[in-house]
Structure 1
Amino acid sequence: MTYKRKICVVTGTRAEYGILSNLMSQIACDDELALQTIVTGSHLSEEFGYTYRYIEEDGFHINAKVDMSLTGDTPVSITKSTGRAVIGFADAYDLLKPDIVVLLGDRYEILAAAQAAMLMKIPLAHIHGGETTEGAVDESIRHAVTKMAHLHFTAAESYRQRVIQMGENPRNVFAFGAPGLDNFAAMDLPDRTSLELSLGIELKAPLFLVTFHPETLANQEPSAAVQPLLEALAAFDDATCIITKANADAGGRAINAELDAFAKKYPDRVLVTTSLGQARYLGLLKLVDVVIGNSSSGIIEAPAAGVPAVNIGDRQKGRLRAPSVLDCVNVPLDITKTINMCMSRDFLESVFSSENPYGQPGQISKKIKEILKGINLDHILVKHFFDVDEDKENQRK
């Protein structure tokens, strides 16, 4: 019997799974690979909708569940949960014995998964490294995971260069694009009628898709930080707002309480949901007039869907942007002004002739899968620091 290389994909949130789902399908359909799936974080939380069920509904077998016991969202609670997760990942890896562990992004669940894999001498492949998000603690986690990883799949060439600048071997750093974009080509997305039936709300224009997460390095209380956005949305009294709740970062629960209260004020035109699922989210992206908030989906997926985005505050500061993404400070007047600009005909006609800096949907996940399948793992755990200045000097000789 031919040995199949075991590729273990770790996912801790609904958004992260959406980005990884096409890659998981590519791995599962390859006769030379065996997909292993570990779920953790908010996937296993009733409060966040038990989103691991979406993974099972898509036909994937979950090999292990690492319960982090997310009983709170204070920094102390999250730190303790991360420690518990390291223990859980050690047990899961010991059971599954993967050849490669695939991690995406920059959340604390991923930090725990990376630590355990590193200490157990399992090769790590990291997706979406090299990026900067100056308003969140994720910034430090992302770069820490980069230094623990052995294979790197960045979303743009400039991010590839940054990973190399951090001392990673250029031969193991690949810039194929953002794999979540492949879902636009791979999934059958629901139409307006299906979405209205599913969500129980009429999707009247103007239609806004809103996500607001905690800005974890800010000094402002999360419940106060979301108020300018809610005040701006209230000013558009004819708009339909579909709002997805905040993630499990510190302060997420406080934001979600404010979102629920806002929806109760405007039940006919505001819907707040824990999770839309990937198909409904992307289907809505194709229909909405503006994406609003501080989520990376406004930076990466919205331009691919041909939709303008309003990016609020500093949470995504440092990331590449398409011309269709407009930044604003977190005050009601500036948010309102930027939303109106995004809906102006002149703006729409001027921005969508340019390319998305995160690549084109279709082949990104397949390219990542081929590297995971074909890369020689002999000696990959031994990392030599790649000195950029030394390399430039050698090229001049």
Structure 2
Amino acid sequence: MRNIAVFTGTRAEYGLLYWLLKDIQQEPELRLQLLVAGMHFSPEFGMTYQQIEADGFRIDEKVEMLLSSDSAVGTAKSIGLGVIGFADALSRMAPDALVILGDRFEALAAAQAAMILRIPVAHIHGGEITEGAYDDAIRHAITKLSLLHFTSTAEHRQRVIQLGEHPDRVHNVGAIGLDHLQRSNMMTVAELSTSLGFALERPYFLVTYHPVTLASEPARASFKQLLKALDYFPEHQVILTYPNADDGGRDIIPLLETYASQQASRVLAIPSLGQQRYLSAVKHAAAVVGNSSSGLIEVPSFGVPTVNIGARQRGRLAADSVLHCDAITPAIVDALQVALATDVSQVRNPYGQGNTSQSIVNTLKTAELSVIKTFYDIHKES
């Protein structure tokens, strides 16, 4: 039996990993270990480790690494704390492999510790591009720290190979979050309203805006532009979810809380929806607005338009249902008007339609797990 550790440091990444955790848990040849850190233990971001436990998962190791800071220095220090904490945790867990999804700074810290401890890393969602955030460099760094790769498209698989990873270790499996389309029960609008304690009586926007950590897009000023744009649509209600823990994120929270308190019957601000409520909210939304990767990867499969704001996701592959605009009020208003007037119900999602989790499990059962790998030189092979 192989011990497969899975890392999660944020609410969003845990939601994407849910069915993979379930499938590892139920696979007789694998034993699930769960390594939890970062935002999951922050009261500011909803103490979401409690949702993990409520879903029936046992947390093997908890690593508190997140400083209550809103600066780049604070983020860099959090990475350092994470490496220290993960070194101890992974040493105790001694997994045969560590699964890491995505491109967050918490994930980078886990990957660094695993590499030094000679624990093979299996990386999900490598090869993608988000030019407006330092997540872009982090994602490619984790690729080079990893042994196995599970990409979301053929294009992303090719990019991982271009980074020197052998094709035999790079598997195009589609976007793991789309497994929810096939396997999760969605709430009705009435059920969602009851769960939120907020009456959804009109068409609504689902809004998530994260700080842009690389491009010139000041978080506070840009978020104010977004709120002004929402005021042009008073007939629409708004669900505002909190930003993530990147530097500049905490500066946004008071703005969204004030905006919601001033329009209590129209606007709901919530730290974390959880995966079922989030996807249910997507399903019934008039549009998804902001700069979350979910708007480009999962949302198109629901036949719901996305208004992708600013530079954070620049360069990421997107469906035709995704409208891109600058982080200024007139551009956001124009994009929302187009989104509301366009039928995107038949748009094809380039990230697939689900069944990703079981493909990953099958590879984790059979792949050779070694930290020794050679650089795959495309020019020499061609």
Q: Which residue does 2:191 correspond to in 1?
A: 194
Q: What letter corresponds to residue 359 of structure 1 in structure 2?
A: G
Is 1:356 the equivalent of 2:349?
A: yes
Q: Which amino acid aligns with 1:367?
A: S
State the partner residue of 1:383: 373
User: Residues of 1 paired with 2:39 and 2:347: CA distance?
Assistant: 36
Task: Work out whether 1:243 is the aligned partner of 2:240.
Answer: yes
CA-based RMSD: 1.0
Deviation string, structure 1 residues 240-276 (Cα, Å, up to 9, x no partner): 1001010000000011111111112211100000000
**Which one-letter code corresponds to 1:360 in the other structure?**
Q
Is contact 2:130–2:316 with CA below 8 Å preserved after alignment? yes
* Distance (Å, rounded) in 2 between the aligned partners of 1:228 and 1:73: 21
Secondary structure of 2:231's match? Answer: helix
Structure 2 stretches of 5 or more lacking a match?
A: none
Cα deviation, 1:15-56, whole Å, max 9, x if unaligned, reads 000000100101000011000001100001111111011110
1:82 aligned to 79, 84, 87, which one?
79
The match for 1:56 among 46, 53, 58 is 53
- CA drift at 1:70: 2.1
The residue aligned with 2:166 is 169
1:141-160 mapped onto 2 (5 Å cutoff): 141-160=138-157
Instruction: Report what 1:265 is aligned to.
Output: 262
Instruction: Report the Cα distance in structure 1 between the residues aligned to 2:177 and 2:267, rounded to whole angstroms.
Output: 27
State the match for 1:370 in structure 2: 362
Query: For residue 377 of structure 2, what is the amino acid of its counterpart?
Result: D
Instruction: Report the secondary structure of 2:272's partner residue.
Output: coil
User: CA–CA distance in 1 between the matches of 2:136 and 2:156?
Assistant: 13
Q: How many residues align?
A: 382
What letter corresponds to residue 373 of structure 1 in structure 2?
K
- Contact 1:14-1:275 at 8 Å conserved across structures: yes
1:286 Cα offset (Å): 1.0
CA distance in 2, matches of 1:165, 1:180: 25
TM superposition shift of 1:220? 4.0
Amino acid aligned to 1:388:
I
Whole-angstrom distance in 1 between the partners of 2:187 and 2:205: 17
- Does residue 112 (structure 1) correspond to residue 109 (structure 2)? The answer is yes
Task: Give the match's secondary structure for 2:296.
Answer: helix
By how many angstroms is 1:106 displaced? 0.5
**Amino acid of the structure 1 residue aligned with 2:348:** E
Specify the SS of the correspondent of 1:267.
coil
Partners of 2:46 and 2:182 lie apart in 1 by 27
Further displaced range: 181-190 or 76-85:
181-190
Counterpart CA distance in 1 for 2:43 and 2:224 is 26
Alpha-carbon distance in structure 2 between the residues aligned to 1:229 and 1:322: 22
- Deviation (angstroms), 1:218: 2.9
Kindly indicate whether the alpha-carbon contact (under 8 Å) linking 2:70 and 2:251 is maintained by their aligned counterparts in 1: no
Aligned position for 1:301: 298
Contact residue 42 and residue 70 of structure 1 kept, 8 A = no
Q: 1:395 maps to which residue?
A: none
State percent identity of aligned pairs.
49
Amino acid aligned to 1:317: R
Between 158-167 and 262-271, report the one with greater CA deviation: 262-271
Q: Which moved more, 1:109-118 or 1:71-80?
A: 71-80
- Secondary structure at 2:23 match in 1: helix
Shift of 1:221: 3.0
TM-score normalised to the size of structure 1?
A: 0.95
Question: Can you list the C-alpha shifts for 1:211-241, whole angstroms capped at 9, x where unaligned?
Answer: 0000011334321121111000011111110
1:17 match: secondary structure = helix
Counterpart contact for 2:204–2:287, Cα < 8 Å: yes
User: Alpha-carbon deviation of 1:382?
Assistant: 1.4
Scaled by the length of structure 2, the TM-score of the pair is 0.98
Which whole-Å deviations, capped at 9, do the CAs of 1:293-331 have from their partners, x for residues lacking one?
000110011111111100001100111111001101111
Instruction: Find the counterpart in structure 2 of residue 70 from structure 1.
Output: 67
- What SS is found at the alignment partner of 1:72? coil
For the pair 1:16 / 2:6, whether they are aligned, the reply is: no
Q: Structure 1 CA distance, aligned partners of 2:348 and 2:150?
A: 20
Which sits farther off after the overlay, 195-204 or 9-18?
195-204
Contact 1:205–1:289, Cα closer than 8 Å, also in 2: no
* Distance of aligned partners of 1:58 and 1:111 in 2 relative to their CA distance in 1, 3 Å threshold: same
Bigger shift: residues 196-205 or 169-178: 196-205
Structure 1: state its 5+ residue gaps: 393-397
